[in-house]
């Protein structure tokens, strides 16, 4: 069976351009996870995008399944976009690799609407210790693989403050996203404060 990672990297490069930096991190008992850094921009100015490479090498397995299926199951990589130059966001490489390794380490299935909690700031001085997994398809299109493999989905990560994470636990991801939208929150601002939640 073909190695999916070269195909995943090619899809990332097609969507985001060539990476200008990459880091590889290996955790005990897991495969290597790389984090690629891409430069880009939107209407507001320059962006840095970080994408994991390695999470999709194996399908994610339902933690309640008795036997892990080595072929079938959802596959994903994580993508984080932040405004360039406002914070030392390059320190997010290790936390991103930790999140990407969580399906192998903890047996979780990462899907849109889920919260991933690090328990520590995403980068030094960050007001975010967790992320909300958003719907894929906007920035990087799903990568279809040969049957019977599931497609690789590129899941955007939206940093959450502890208050936002608590709100999401009670009211759900949709309610939090509506708050962000109502208040015109720039989710790519690495220095933003929590959205008003009352």
Residues 10, 11, 15: CA angle, nearest 5 degrees: 115
Q: Would you call 148 exposed, middle or buried from its count of C-beta atoms within 10 A (0-12, 13-18, 19+)?
A: exposed
- Closest alpha carbon to 35 in 82, 99, 86: 99
State the alpha helices, DSSP H only, in the chain: 5-16, 93-106, 162-171, 173-182
pTM across the whole model = 0.93
The better pLDDT of the pair 75, 137 is held by: 75
Per-residue pLDDT tens over the stretch 8-46? 999 999 999 999 999 998 887 778 999 999 999 888 889
Within 13 A of 192's CA, how many CA atoms are on the CB side?
Answer: 21
Helix (H, G, I), strand (E, B) or coil at 75: strand
Distance CA 15, CA 140 (A): 6
Residues 6+ apart with CB under 8 A from 11: 140, 141, 143, 152, 154
Per-residue pLDDT tens over the stretch 136-187? 988 999 999 998 899 999 999 999 999 999 999 999 999 999 999 999 999 9
The better pLDDT of the pair 73, 66 is held by: 73
């Amino acid at each position: 069976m073909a190695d999916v990672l070269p195909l995943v990297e090619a899809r990332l490069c097609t969507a985001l351009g060539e990476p200008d930096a990459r880091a590889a991190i290996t955790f005990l008992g897991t495969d290597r996870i790389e984090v690629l850094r891409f430069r880009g921009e939107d209407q507001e100015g320059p962006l840095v995008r970080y994408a994991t490479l390695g999470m999709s090498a194996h399908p994610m397995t339902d933690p309640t399944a008795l036997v892990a299926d080595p072929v079938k199951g959802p596959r994903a990589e994580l993508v984080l976009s932040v405004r360039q130059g406002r914070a030392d966001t390059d320190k997010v490489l290790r936390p991103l690799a930790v999140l990407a390794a969580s399906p192998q380490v903890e047996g979780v299935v990462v899907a849109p609407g889920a919260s991933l909690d690090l328990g520590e700031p995403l980068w030094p001085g960050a007001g975010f210790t967790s992320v909300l997994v958003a719907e894929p398809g906007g920035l990087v299109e799903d990568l279809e693989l040969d049957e019977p493999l599931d497609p690789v989905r590129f899941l955007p990560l939206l940093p959450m403050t502890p208050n936002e994470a608590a709100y999401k636990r009670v009211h759900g991801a949709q309610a939090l996203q509506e708050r962000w939208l109502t208040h015109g929150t720039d989710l790519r601002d690495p220095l933003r404060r929590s959205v008003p939640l009352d």
